[in-house]
Structure 1
Amino acid sequence: MRIHVLADSDTRWKWGAGLAVGLAPGSEVHAHMLRGRSTPTARQLAEVGITPASITEGTLAEFAAAPELAAADVVVLGTVGGATHSALHALAHRFRNSLHRPVVMTGYVGVVYEKMADGLLLRAGADVVLANSPFDRRRFRDVYAPLGIPESCIVQTALPFLDQRPYDMNRTHAEHPYTVCFAVQPSVPEDRNGRLYMLRRAISHARRRPGRDVLVKLRSRPGEATTHVEAHHYQVLAEQTGEPLPPNLHFVYGNMSETLDRTDLLVTVSSTAALESMHRGMPTAILSDLGVREIHGNHYFVGSGCVTDWTAIDEGAAPLAHESWTADQGIRSTDPFGELRHRIAELRRFPLPPISPYYTAESAPEYVATLLRRRGLNPDGSPGAGAATRSRGPMRRTSRRVLKVAYQFGVQRVAPKIQQWGGV
C-alpha cells in the first residue's frame, strides 16, 4: 500500500507516519512536510524514528499537485484544522475529474480538549475522521449527526505511538534510580511565571529527593519550532536563573518512548505523554498547581484519578489511572487498527465520490476564502495567482544525510515495532 503523509510539525509527522505503519505494516510511506514555521528539522525527523520512502517539503498547492499522489492509495492529513480544510479543497480540485483518487484520512494527534466543533467541521469531508477512543467517537457523532455529516466517516482507532511495553511496578533500580520525568509542553503553561514555577518545583523535587533522578523532558531545542510556539524554553529559563542545578536533575531530548523506558513516574500538566505512560500502566501525575483549567487542558484528565500537585509528589504520591477511564479513552487497546483496516478495505473496493469539504465557497464564502488564501489557494481549491512566486521552487527533497540519519533511527527503533504490529 502506498501511503502519503502530509505533516506540518514533528509531532504530526510522528502521528501520521505511525498511523501509516500501524495500518499497513510494510507499506510504502512517503513524507510531505508543509513549509512553515514548524517544519521539522533533520534532528526532529530523525528522533521520530520512522524512515519514509521519500521526503519532500513545499507549500500546500505544491503538495496537492504532486504527480506521485496519482498513485497513492491513502493520503493522511496530519495538519492543523485550517490546513486540513484547505488540503481537502486542494485535493478536491486536483481529483475533480479523476476516476481514481486516494482515500483521504485525518484526525487528532492527542486529546481533543478545545475547539472541538471548529476542528471537527474543518476535518469534515475526509473519507475517514479518526476518533482516538470510544469517548471521542461519541463526541464526534454529537457534532456531525445534527449537521447531516455521515457518521460512517468516524472510525475508532488509538494513538499510534502508544507503546506496548508495560511498566513493571516491581522492577528494581539496579541500573538507575527511581526516575521522575516531567514532560513539558511548548505552550502549557504559556506565560513565563507559570513555566518558571514548574521548573522551580521540578528542581525543588530533585533537591528534596536526592535518591531520585528527575528528568525534564523537552520537546525541542532552543530555537527549534514545534507544533506550538515555545516562548520560554525551560533550559533557557534554567540558565537565566543563574542557580546551580542539583546533580540528579537532567534536561533530556529524544524519543518519548525511550525516555519512558527508564521512567517510574510521569509528571505533566496535560501532555499526550500522559496517555503513553497510562497505556503502559505507569504511575502518572496530572498537575493542578496552576489550576484545573480548560486553557491548560488538564480538565480532560479529571476522571482519571491522576490529578495531583507537586507537594503531593514531593511526599511520595504516584497515582495510577482508573481502568474504567483508560478504557473509555482508548488506552491499552488490544487491536487499535482493526476497525480502520476494515474501513479502508471497504472504501477501496469501489470508486470514491468527489471530496466534499463541509464549508464551501457558497455556504461560508468569507471563512473559506480566508483559510485558503492564507495557504496560497483560490476559493475553489486551485493554486492562487501568487502561489508560484511565493514558493521557493519545486518541492524540495531532503539531503542524503538526513535520509541516512532517518534510516539509522528507523532500523534501530521502528523495524522491531513493525514486526510487533505485523505479528512477525
Structure 2
Amino acid sequence: MRIHVLADSDTRWKWGGELAQRLHPYPELHAHMLNGRSTPTARQMAEVGIRTASISHSSVAEFVTDPELAHADVLIVGSVGGTTQAVLHGLARAFGDAPRRPTVVTGYVGVVYENLTDGLLLRAGADVVLANSPFDARRFREIYRGLGIGEHCVVQTALPFLADHVYDPARTGATHPFTVTFAVQPSVPEDREGRLYVLRRAIQHARLRPGREVLIKLRSKPGEQTTHIEAYHYETLAEQLDEPLPPNLHFVYGNMGEVLDRTDLMVTVSSTAALESMHRGIPTAILSDLGVREPHGNHYFTGSGCVVSWNEIDEDALPYARTGWLEEQGILARDPYAQLRDRVVGLVNAPALPPIQPYYTMQNAPGYLPKLLARRGLDPGGEPLPHAAAAGRGRHGLLTRASRKALRRAYRFGVQNVAPRIQRWGGL
C-alpha cells in the first residue's frame, strides 16, 4: 500500500508515520514535510525512527500540485486545522471529478481539549476523520450531525503510538532505581514563572528522594521547535539557577517509548505521554499545582483519579488511572485499528471515490475562507496563487527554493544557538 504522510512537525510526523504502520504491515511510506516554524530537523526525524521510501519538503501550494499524489493509495494529513482545510481545498481542485484519487485520512495527535468545533470543521471533507476514543467519537459525530455533515467519516480508533508493553513494578530494585519521569510540554505551562516552579519542584523531589532517579524528558533541544512554541526551555532555565542540580536528576531526550521502559512514575501537566503511561499501567500523576484549568489541558483528566500535586508525589503518591475512565478514553481497547483498516481498504479498493468536499466554501464562509487559504498560498478555488506557483517552477523557482533553504538554515541557527545564549545572558 502506497501511503503518503503530510506533517508540519515532529509530533505529527510520528503520529502519521505510526498510523501508516497500523494500516499496513509493510507500507511504501513517503514523507512530506511542510516548510514552516516547526519543520522537523534531521535529529528530530531520526529520533522518531520511522523508515521512509522518500522525504520531501514543500509548501502547501507545492504539495497539492505534486504529481506523485496521483499514485498514492492513502494520504494521511497531520497538520493544524487551517492547513488541513487548505490541503483539502487544494486536493479538491487537483483531482476534481477524477475517478482515481488517494483516500484522505486525518485526525488529532493527542487529546482534544480545546477548539473542538473549530478543529473538526476544518478537518471536514476528509474521507476519514479519526476519533481516538469512544468519548471523542460521540462528540465528533454530534457536531457533524448538527451541521449536516455526514458523520460516517468519523472512525473510532486509538492513538497509534500506544505501545503494547506492560509495566512490571517488580523490575525496580538494586540495579534499577525507582525512576520518576517528568514529561515536558513546550507550551504548558506557558509562562517563565510557571515553568520555573515545575522545574524547581522536580529538583526538590530529587533532593528529597536521593534513592530515586528523576528524569526530565525533553521534546526538543534549545531552539528547536515542535508543534507548539517553547519560549522557556527547561535546560536553559536550569542553567540560570544559582544552585547545582542534584546528581540523581537528568535531562533526557529520545523516543518516549524507550524512556517509559525505565519509568516507575510518570509526572506531567497534561502531556499525551500520560496516555502512553496509563496504557502500560504505569502510575501517572497529572499535576494540579498550577490549577486544574482549561488552558493547561489537565481538566481533561479530572475523572482519571490521577490529578495530584507535587506535595502528594513527595509523600509517595502512586496514582493509577481508573478502569472506567481508561475504557472511555479508548486506552484499553483491543485491536482498535480493525475498523479503520477495513474502512480504508474498502475506500482504496472502491471503483471511484466521490469528489472531496471541504466544509467551508465561499457560500457559507466568504469572510473566513479566502484569508485562510491565502495564508497557505491558495486562492478561494484551491488554485495556487501566482507567487506560490512560481516558487516551484523554472529558474526563478530554483532560486526561490534555494533562498528559502538558506533562510531556513539561518533561522534555525538563530533559534538554536543565538536565542538560548541571549536568554542565558539576559536571565530571560
Residue in structure 2 matched with residue 292 of structure 1 by the alignment: 292
The 5 A counterparts of 1:58-69 are 58-69=58-69
- The count of aligned residue pairs is 397
Q: Per-residue deviation at 1:98?
A: 1.7
State the alpha-carbon separation in 2 of the partners of residues 84 and 345 from structure 1. Answer: 22
Q: Which residue of 1 aligns with 2:375?
A: 374
Q: Which moved more, 1:327-336 or 1:26-35?
A: 327-336
SS at match of 1:386: helix
Alpha-carbon distance in 2 for matches of 1:395, 1:9: 20
1:49 aligns with 2:55: no
Structure 2 partner of 1:360: 361
Q: Which moves more between the two structures, 130-139 or 165-174?
A: 165-174
> How far, CA to CA, are the matches of 1:217 and 1:248 in structure 2?
14
Give the equivalent residue in structure 1 for 2:265: 265
CA contact (8 A) 2:284 2:318 kept: yes
Residue 390 of structure 1, CA deviation: 5.1
Report deviation, 1:99: 1.9
For residue 128 of structure 1, what is the aligned residue in structure 2? 128
Residue 89 (structure 1) aligns with: 89
Hey, what's the Cα distance between the residues in 1 that align with 2:65 and 2:175? 52
- Please state whether the residue corresponding to 1:251 is helix, strand or coil: strand
**1:58–1:395 contact (8 Å) kept in structure 2:** no
Letter in 2 for 1:381: G
1:321 CA displacement: 0.2
2:198 — aligned with what? 198
**Cα pair 1:61 1:387 within 8 Å, conserved:** yes
Question: Cα RMSD over matched residues?
Answer: 1.4
1:40: which partner in 2?
40
Which residue of the partner structure matches residue 407 of structure 1?
none
* Higher mean C-alpha displacement, 179-188 vs 362-371: 362-371
| Residue pair 2:64, 2:91 contacting (<8 A) in 1 also | yes
Of stretches 257-266 and 360-369 in structure 1, the one that deviates more from structure 2 is 360-369
Deviation at 1:174, TM superposition (A): 3.5
CA contact (8 A) 2:23 2:341 kept: yes
Q: Distance in 2 between matches of 1:71 and 1:225?
A: 32
Q: TM-score, normalised by structure 2?
A: 0.91
Instruction: Output the CA distance in 1 between the equivalents of 2:338 and 2:268.
Output: 31
Matched residues in 2 for 1:145 and 1:219: separation? 37
For 1:230-269, what aligned pairs fall within 5 Å after superposition?
230-269=230-269
Paired residue type of 1:44: Q
Aligned counterpart, 2:279: 279
Query: What per-residue deviation string (whole Å, max 9, x for no partner) do you get for residues 123-163 of structure 1?
Result: 00000000000000011011010111111100011000011
Q: Which residue of 1 aligns with 2:11?
A: 11
Residue identity in the other structure for 1:157: T
Distance 2:93 2:172 in 1: 58
Contact 1:284 1:318 in 2 (8 A): yes
Q: SS of the residue aligned with 2:325?
A: helix
Contact 1:57 1:395 in 2 (8 A): no
Give yes or no for contact 2:180–2:214 (8 Å, CA) kept in 1.
yes
Match of 2:21 in 1: 21
Partner of 1:403: none
1:373 aligned partner, one-letter code: A
Superposed, which structure 2 residues align to 1:127-146 within 5 Å? 127-146=127-146
In the alignment, the residues of structure 1 paired with residue 152 and residue 18 of structure 2 have an alpha-carbon distance, to the nearest angstrom, of 23
Q: CA deviation at 1:395?
A: 8.0
In structure 1, the partner of 2:339 is: 339
Letter of the structure 2 residue corresponding to residue 312 of structure 1:
E
Residue 389 of structure 1: how far off its partner (Å): 4.7
Given that residues 99 and 351 in structure 2 are in contact (C-alpha distance below 8 angstroms), is that contact kept between their aligned partners in structure 1?
A: no
Aligned pairs for 1:203-214 within 5 A: 203-214=203-214
Separation in 2, partners of 1:174, 1:389: 64
Question: Residue by residue, what CA displacement relative to the aligned partner does 1:322-373 show, whole Å, maximum 9, x if unpaired?
Answer: 0110011010322021000111122232311000000012210121111110
* Cα offset, 1:77, TM superposition: 0.4
Structure 2 Cα separation of the partners of residues 316 and 369 of structure 1: 55
How many percent of aligned residue pairs carry the same amino acid?
Answer: 67
Provide the C-alpha distance between the structure 1 equivalents of 2:97 and 2:108, rounded to a whole number of angstroms.
30
Give yes or no for contact 2:256–2:273 (8 Å, CA) kept in 1.
Answer: yes
Aligned to 1:409: none
**1:220-235 matches, cutoff 5 A:** 220-235=220-235
Is the 2:326–2:332 Cα contact (8 Å) retained in structure 1?
Answer: yes
Is 2:385 the counterpart of 1:388?
no
Amino acid paired to 1:338: A
CA distance in 1 between counterparts of 2:172 and 2:292 reads 34
Q: Quick one: distance in 2 between partners of 1:390 and 1:101?
A: 25
Report the Cα distance in structure 1 between the residues aligned to 2:60 and 2:176, rounded to whole angstroms.
46
Task: Tell me the secondary structure at the aligned position of residue 237 of structure 1.
Answer: helix
CA contact (8 A) 1:188 1:269 kept: yes
Distance of 2:88 and 2:174 partners within structure 1: 52
Q: Is the 8 A contact 1:56 1:395 kept in 2?
A: no
Paired amino acid for 1:387? A
Residue by residue over 1:239-298, the C-alpha shift from the partner in whole angstroms, topping out at 9 and shown as x without a partner, is: 011320000000000100000000000000000000000000110000000000000000
For residues 395 and 52 of structure 1, do their structure 2 counterparts lie closer, same or farther at Cα, with a shift above 3 Å needed? farther
Contact 2:268-2:274 at 8 Å conserved across structures: yes
Q: 1:385-420 CA deviation, whole Å, 9 max, x = no partner?
A: 110355664989x9xxxxxxxxxxxxxxxxxxxxxx
Tell me the amino acid that sits aligned with residue 106 of structure 1. Answer: T
Correspondence list, 1:83-122, <5 A: 83-122=83-122
| Cα pair 1:280 1:332 within 8 Å, conserved | no
Which structure has more relative contact order (CA 8 Å, sep 6+)? It is 1
Asked if the contact 2:34/2:60 (under 8 Å) is kept, the reply is yes
Q: Separation in 1 of the partners of 2:73 and 2:165?
A: 31
Distance 2:209 2:340 in 1: 45
